[in-house]
Amino acid sequence: MEADIITGRTFGKNEADALFQEGTVFDKCVFGGGTFTALLLHGIILLDCRFTGCDFSLSAFANTAMDGVTFSGCKMSGTSFGERNSTHRLSASFTECIFDNAVFLHITADAVFRQCRMHDTAFESCNLKGVLFDACDMQGSSFTDNDLRNADFLTSFGFTIDPETNRLNGARFSQSSLPGLLAKYRIKIENP
């Protein structure tokens, strides 16, 4: 089956959902205000695309490649990225997106998360080396068996990371994030 290649198109609200078929390549496309809820986005390739104000809630990006993709003001609650027994590359930036209850599984990310809300988001078995989490509200988010070397959490808050099950060499954290790094030890951290 030959892949459909869609280049340089601009899609308005709900114009593209039928086009998200396995093997489709979107190159330098712009998507604005689309509702793509509960979709299985399997085997799609997104190259230098831009999504603004789109809703991907409860969707799954499975075996989907992203390179140079930007998401701004998008809702991704309950969305899953990746799948078990397979590693996927995610080169993307996310600004002011909502990821409540999202799952990142077995992905290799070259990503920036800026001012995102990531409540109860799970990261499992991901390569997140050097990823920037800038001013993200990560209340209740957890990290299990990830490579977080050189990741930057300096301005983010609310997460729980077990230093014994995640690689943290060179990762940056603020002093106020210590409770999230030491939570499993049930110690009290107080200011005198």
Task: Report how many domains make up the chain.
Answer: 1
Instruction: Using the structure block, give the residue that is written with the tokens 């990531």.
Output: 118
The whole-angstrom separation of Cα 94 and Cα 113 is 5
Task: Decide: pTM greater than 0.85.
Answer: yes
Q: Which domain holds residue 159?
A: 5-185
pLDDT in tens, 142-188: 999 999 999 999 999 999 999 999 999 999 999 989 889 988 888 87
Is residue 84 assigned to a domain?
A: yes
Q: What is the CATH number of the domain that holds 148?
A: 2.160.20.80
Is residue 22 assigned to a domain?
A: yes
Looking at residue 187, its pLDDT comes to: 81
Q: Are 26 and 6 in contact (CB under 8 A)?
A: yes
